[in-house]
Amino acid sequence: MSKFRGTVKHSDLEGGRWELHAEDGEVYDLEGAAADVLRDGLRVEVEGKVEKGMMSIGMRGGVLRVKQARAV
């Protein structure tokens, strides 16, 4: 598992999805994040795993499977 910090953003693409705009410049689709951290503009720390070889519908970054997340 790896840790990522960044900002949660909602995207209207394909009916809506939640993304993490990470501090390292990457953008990940959040998969499995709890509702309490899915707020547009919330700064978070996420522990999880990036699925290699799996692209999101937005084709901007990978899918981040969230084990846990918290506001920072």
Per-residue confidence band for 62, with pLDDT thresholds at 50, 70 and 90: confident
The angle subtended at Cα 51 by Cα 34 and Cα 48, nearest 5°, is 40
CATH of the domain at 65: 2.40.50
Mean pLDDT value of segment 25-54: 92
Q: How many domains does the chain have?
A: 1
Higher model confidence: residue 41 or residue 13? 41
Beta bridge partners of 22: 6
Residue-number span of the structural domain to which 60 is assigned: 2-71
What is the CB-side half-sphere exposure of residue 41 using CA atoms within 13 A? 0
Per-residue confidence band for 28, with pLDDT thresholds at 50, 70 and 90: very high
Mean pLDDT value of segment 43-48: 98
Chain centroid offset of residue 17 CA: 9
What CA dihedral angle connects 33, 28, 14 and 67, to 10 degrees?
Answer: -20
